[in-house]
Amino acid sequence: MKKLAVSLAVGAASLLSLGAAVIPATAQAQPGVVVRVAPPPPRPEHVPPPRKGYVWAPGHYEWNGHRYVWNKGTYMRARNGYAYRAPQWDERDGRWEYQRGGWDRDHDGVPNAHDRRPDNPNRS
């Protein structure tokens, strides 16, 4: 148990020395990660021609605990009745919050995996 605590302390100290801190996410906004360092600008990528029955999921940066890592865009099989929301980084008070992408059935902008009311009848 002591070894685990020491390892965690050393890891946290190394993150802070890099100028980045991963902060626990609040349950309210459901971000995956909060980082103090802004993500790099998105990379330009070639989007292949449209494919019937598929949706283009654009490339994006994710935080791996130490740095940003680029995930290239790809086609995903479309889901009938759902809208795909791409992952995004939002800046709030000098911190960058990663909002996971996903499939949204009621088109309210909240992926169903994180939506308390995924079939909200009062959506706009």
Q: What is the pTM of this model?
A: 0.62
Structural contact between residues 84 and 105, judged by C-beta atoms closer than 8 angstroms = no
Residue 89: closest CA among 55, 56, 44, 40: 40
Per-residue model confidence (pLDDT) at position 48: 94
Query: In this predicted model, what pLDDT tens digit does every residue of 23-60 receive, in sequence order?
Result: 444 334 444 689 999 999 999 999 999 999 999 999 99
CA distance 57 to 36: 26
